[in-house]
Structure 1
């Protein structure tokens, strides 16, 4: 039914190796040595009514842990756009998900431009896997996220460092939606709407 690469131990090993390689190459861009767990993927999607989701954008999908959950839960006609800066992830995502998603090799700060490019005036769901560093989540991106959430877009993101969340997202009405202990390292999921 969906157009994804089958999940196999070999695929998981390749993804883990790619993730670790990118962590050592640029730890500020890849904030963890391992991809998020399937438990984090499930928790990221909890509480979302996917029958009402028609447009999705995922920022920083990495190896596609959250994307896998999106593809499983979204209707086949749901437009899913992935925005990834790291070229090795882009190639991996295209291979894994094929025509089921559109993968943009771009900076997440171009959110508004990418929405225009894809003819999306309002997102139903915005997922972020971006690291919590000032250069990744800057004022331009925050303004774009706020503009979307002000119109009802569901926004979900995770962090390994909850104190940082309140400082960075101080202008958004964020709330904790989950804590995932079965992840290395454990993580907190937050959301708006």
Structure 2
């Protein structure tokens, strides 16, 4: 059953990539290896709220569902309506939004102020600069003091853009993902 879901997710991801490559950013969903790398520093026992930006077919969403506390509020943001509909059906216990730059408004809609953690699969390298700046400003505005922002990218070009918004950014690699990915971490 799991193999069928994975195949269906890959098929959906590829279809959506072919229809809008700049919005999707990759031919294939993230790997389980990348999910583990993204979440390796998340302290689930003390995470009461988490946001995922650019959820795609839900590789990270499934990881969140398996690891979050029962009372942890999870908000999943995916602009592609087909993928968001599939995620909403698969994860009905989570809250959903459509546009990352509207994150503060999405959180307000669900009665959430600031959050403990934001993870991102958004393809920042192909997002127009003005929109990227608005998204990163929304991320900063949505994080609690001490909260963390974790994003992956396929090229190192975003390091300096992240540094313009976040004082200290650490980077790590996950070579077992296809394609290999850089994982950036910021703690507010």
TM-score (norm 2): 0.91
For residue 52 of structure 2, give the secondary structure of its aligned residue in structure 1: strand
Which position in structure 2 is the counterpart of 1:103?
A: 96
Query: Which residue is 2:110 aligned to?
Result: 118
In structure 2, how many angstroms separate the alpha carbons of the residues matched to 1:115 and 1:169?
25
5 Å-filtered alignment, 1:109-148, equals 109-132=101-124, 133-135=126-128, 137-148=131-142
The equivalent residue for 1:170 is: 164
Contact kept in structure 1, 2:100 and 2:138, CA below 8 Å? no
Equivalent position SS for 1:98 = coil
Aligned-pair distance for 1:135? 2.8
- The 2-side partners of 1:165 and 1:93 are apart by 30
Unaligned runs of at least 5 residues, structure 2: none
Report which of the two has the higher share of helix: 2
Structure 1 unmatched ranges of 5 or more: 1-6
Q: Which residue of 1 aligns with 2:174?
A: 180
Structure 2 CA distance for aligned equivalents of residues 149 and 97 of structure 1: 23
Q: Is contact 1:149-1:192 (8 Å) kept?
A: no
CA distance in 2, matches of 1:14, 1:187: 23
Match of residue 152 from structure 2: 158
Measure the CA separation in 1 of the matches of 2:115 and 2:68. Answer: 14
Q: TM-score, normalised by structure 1?
A: 0.89
Residues 150/103 of structure 1: CA separation in 2 closer, same or farther (3 Å cut): closer
1:78 corresponding residue in structure 2: 72
After TM superposition, give the deviation of residue 147 of structure 1 in Å: 2.7
Q: CA RMSD in A?
A: 1.6
1:26-37 equivalences under 5 Å are: 26-37=20-31
Q: Deviations over 1:141-182 (max 9, x none)?
A: 222222344722211100001123323542212111x31111
- Counting matched residue pairs gives 184
Q: Aligned equivalents of 2:40 and 2:33: distance in 1?
A: 11
1:12 to 6, 12, 21: 6
